[in-house]
Amino acid sequence: MTRFAAPIAEQIWDMKYRLKDADGLPLDASVEDSWRRVARDLASVEADPAHWEPKFYAALEDFKFLPAGRILAGAGTGRAVTLFNCFVMGTIPDSMAGIFDMLKEAALTMQQGGGIGYDFSTIRPRGAAVKGVAADASGPLSFMDVWDAMCRTIMSAGSRRGAMMATMRCDHPDIEAFITAKQDSARLRMFNLSVLITDAFMEAVKADGPWELVFDGKVYHTLNARDLWNKIMRATYDFAEPGVIFIDRINAMNNLAYLEQIAATNPCGEQPLPPYGACLLGSVNLARLVTAPFTDQARLDLAALDELVRTSVRMMDNVVDASRFPLPQQQAEAANKRRIGLGVTGLADALLMLGLRYGDDKAAAQTEAWMKAIARAAYLASVDLAREKGAFPLFDAEKYLSSGNMLQMDEDVRQAIATHGIRNALLTSIAPTGTISLYAGNVSSGIEPVFAYAYTRKVLQKDGSRTEEEVVDYAVKLWRDMKGDVALPAYFVNAQTLAPMDHVKMQAAAQKWIDSSISKTINCPVDISFDDFKDVYMAAFESGCKGCTTYRPNDVTGSVLTVSEKSEKTPETDKGAEVVYLTEPLDRPASLEGATYKLKWPGSEHAIYITVNDIVQGGHRRPFEVFINSKNMEHYAWTVALTRMISAVFRRGGDVSFVVGELKAVFDPRGGAWMAGQYIPSILAAIGGVIERHLVATGFIAGEGMGLKSDPRAEVMEMGEPPRGEACPSCGSYALRKVEGCLTCADCGHSKCSG
């Protein structure tokens, strides 16, 4: 009997969270082994591990508590990885040396897999004087380009996908350039962008008043606040960026307002963090806690919720001690404040099981009640931990109880904190759970509505072919199991049809009792008017949200693919599908299929070994990277250069078969060699021949000396029509959907931002 509710769940566990050795052989024989591994590791920091391990296992069992993917994949493996999801880096100094020190820290953090956030408001604007060098400053955007290139480099080295958030204050002199920066499709592709919106700016917008752009006390420009607001709104209406962060509200509602100032968030926005701030994530699965679903007796078991939250808080607090950190400053920050981010997933499914329509007043009230119950349980659990293990080192009872969310907390909780302290400064956050929710049986993600009741997914088989299967939402499947073919009731709504203001209502209801923030995408119809679109953001501000992210599908948003211009070949040779070229390189999956070939060049003492690895797209293999190695040190420089150049070309997609032709045409004036009865003009030509034979064997090209057999990405195009939206960088499928600010692939579960 399998614990998995759907094949996609088991596949995601196998791909992302199952412990395997260096050769890819499983060490976790079952998902129970994965749960046991995590439970044992997190219990290891307890005084009595044998007591807590079974309790932690029980919380993980049947997907009730879902630690973020980094914890599932890394805990108990013995590997030098961080279990933390979110980092905001140190304040960037306004100096060349300081800027590049920060770049180094970002690279080290990203190398371990951390998503990072940065506030670029501290860098002087473009054109400002640079004392001592008789030059003008290039501005923060030029340095953001450097960060972007660094992130690409880290990715190309085979490390985890890069994810970065860049913020800039609404009063920075370069804010207008920041707003439009990503409208250049080739720029800042590794960044999410968000504008830090102050209360003063929002008041100026409502009053249609002036707004000063200031740096270091100097006013650079004065413009109309509403004009700047409209520029932000127009950019996100047309391009889905930048997002909006209500930074004054974040700082005002921070439990640690007395000792830290926040100016940035992690890439998905649910974790506003101070310099060197770090946070880990986890979610309780509300869909697993509903009893008697779809009946008059349906309810969420509040006693079970309370127990699960208390155990989850203890597990997450232990992660602070069990985890490694990329930088010592991050470790110190985490240890001093012991921030955790406990959230939920399966909210929409749980509401459906109770007969509530996501987005209406009853569902919003129920959501607020559940979030308060979670907050109370989490804070009281942290008080119990403080009694046992001590409060977080920077705890100051008087100041803490006078700050942020503590001002609205129930009196019994406040009194418990005053008496015993609290172990964790902040405890709640709602993170993107796109991949985790699929692993848990396709429960609704985070606090999002059900994205789709069911969809068809292409499943990649070991032989490279694909089969189709239906992926059904958890609540919908439960309804079918209980009711048969009875039509879904009217209260079943999804993200495709939900009104934007219903999204805002639900986000605001959840935010009241979340002490950090929420990752949520407000889906807007393509035909929403610009004025109605702006009203969504104003409603988010007025209703107490800490930020707002929308997604309005159109011809621009999400599109990173273009179709090459038609060839001028004759019709007889132009019958195949056109080649699609990528404007940014393919992301490297965790494992690739490939082959290694030995090439012995006559007269050379050492052989050359050529490895060609492939990626599978649309059921076809295509070359992804090449490695060329030799013990002959005279070959070292050019083999390294060739490896990098060919791999870079392969990762750009399209018809890369020309690489073979170019290599085979290289002539060595010192003379070639006879190999297998054929004259080869150079060693480079011999390498080209090896690569060509590999491409023939995998079906990428039709035969030796022949061109492209078929372009995998062209298969989804209809009569030369450009692809709609972005292709998944992992599997090549056009099945990406925007969930909680993150593009997530419905076919393979790939997500840029979530663990």
Tell me which residues are annotated as active site.
Answer: 266, 268, 270
CB 308 within 8 A of CB 302: no
Per-residue DSSP letter, 428 = B
B/e letters for 454-482, b = 16+ CB within 10 Å, e = fewer, are: eeebbebeeebebeeeebbbbbbbbbeee
**Residue 595 contacts by C-beta under 8 Å, 6 or more apart in sequence?**
611, 612, 694, 697
Residue 592 in tokens:
């690739």
CB 19 within 8 A of CB 27: yes
Rg over CA atoms, the chain: 27
Please, what sign has the CA dihedral across residues 71, 73, 79, 84?
negative
> How far apart are the C-alpha atoms of 667 and 657, rounded to whole Å?
19
DSSP H stretches of helix in 515-616: 530-542
Strand 218-224 with 164-169, pairing: unpaired
> How far apart are the C-alpha atoms of 57 and 60, rounded to whole Å?
5
Strand 278-285 with 340-345, pairing: parallel
**Angstrom distances, CA of residue 549 to CA of 345, 359, 739, 749:** 19, 17, 11, 22
Query: In what helix (H) or strand (E) does residue 496 lie, and over which residues does it extend?
Result: none
DSSP 317-362: HHHHHH-B-SSHHHHHHHHHH--EEEEEE-HHHHHHHTT--TTSHH
Task: Give a three-class secondary structure readout of 147-188.
Answer: HHHHHHHHHHCCCCCCCEEEEEECCCCCHHHHHHHHHCCCCC
Name the strands in the sheet holding 608-617, side by side, starting at the edge strand that comes first in the sequence.
593-599, 608-617, 620-630
Q: Which residues partner with 622 through β-bridges? A: 615
> How far apart are the C-alpha atoms of 262 and 630, rounded to whole Å?
51
- In the chain, % helix, strand, coil (3-state, to 5) comes to 40, 20, 40
